[in-house]
Structure 1
């Protein structure tokens, strides 16, 4: 008779994750918490680092005092997730961020630059962000030089998906802003 073994993954809360960080357990590794699971963050290749840095600087200039652009910093979500999106465009809460990372209600939109992390960003993170009603999520597919825009979270999923290689994006939070796709993925082509 064959024995069946079941594997159960240990789930972590945000508080437990923070205690591990404070204790130095994760010091030598780049990690993020996604739905209670600690996931390693892929190393950034040169294109990833270049495009996310340039787009971050562009958005800082474009948005001015209307929002804060946080590059590669944690956000805290109520589904036991604390991801570190490449760019988080958030409300300007100043010193309040000394007490906590941005919560969903503080976030205008998120951007992930993806090459080796494309599957994770399109499948796992899309669900993580939609579940907590992040209003807008952009995935920049570096392989195809395209921006995939996910607006309108509904019932734990995004209602639509728009794939752009050219043209202009008007973020939901700032519909008066015209952001050329080239400023996000084909910077100084």
Structure 2
């Protein structure tokens, strides 16, 4: 079945699932565990390594410290987009949680921590750009760097740069927020991703 899904002729016959239908499945408790909707396809989420968990925790703490009182900092929570409902590792949206009666449809910042899914995370850039997400980061755990995507357009992000271990990321969408890359990775070993994985809830 996996080989069949890679064939272009079969892909053309596949019927994507709408976001509305996805929400109906959620309401009826029909959604598989550890899954999200990406480009109209239900995708299984990857297990988390200890390295992934540590990096997400550090980023979440940093962002909550800097902007927690003026914005809603979210961990693995959905964004409802045109044909997808991803759950980025971290996202920051305008306002507070009380301002929302449904999932946000865009964000000031989304972050994906990549330990073993770098190519998949890079594909998410187009989805976030289409939704007008102002800034997108990919934390590259293996290379200990951060890829930064800015200036969203319908065709993708117009500006992409990489901040190395010796650099400091200055956030463009959240004034005053900076990330010293070496401090983010301080004490972490790239090989930790092979240690016991923590399953997503």
Q: Any runs of at least 4 consecutive aligned residues in structure 1 with deviations exceeding 6 A, and if so which?
A: none
Q: Secondary structure at the match of 2:69?
A: helix
Aligned to 1:33: 37
Q: So what's the TM-score if we normalise by structure 1?
A: 0.86
From 99, 102, 105, the equivalent of 2:104 is 102
Preserved CA contact (<8 Å) 2:70 2:96: no
Q: Does residue 28 of structure 2 align to residue 23 of structure 1?
A: yes
In structure 2, C-alpha distance between the alignment counterparts of 1:5 and 1:94, rounded to whole Å: 42
3-state DSSP of counterpart to 2:68: helix
CA RMSD of aligned residues (A): 1.9
Contact preservation (8 Å) 1:51, 1:187: no
- The question of 1:176 aligning with 2:176 is answered yes
The total of aligned residue pairs comes to 179
Deviation, structure 1 residue 83: 0.2
Q: 1:62 to 1:5 in 2, by over 3 A?
A: closer
How many angstroms does 1:187 deviate by?
4.2
In the alignment, structure 2 segments of 5+ residues that lack a partner are: 1-6, 189-201
Cα deviation for residue 5 of structure 1 reads: 9.2
Contact 2:63 2:177 in 1 (8 A): no
1:93–1:148: structure 2 CA closer, same or farther, 3 Å change rule?
same
CA contact (8 A) 2:136 2:149 kept: yes
Q: Which has the higher contact order (CA 8 A, sep 6+)?
A: 2
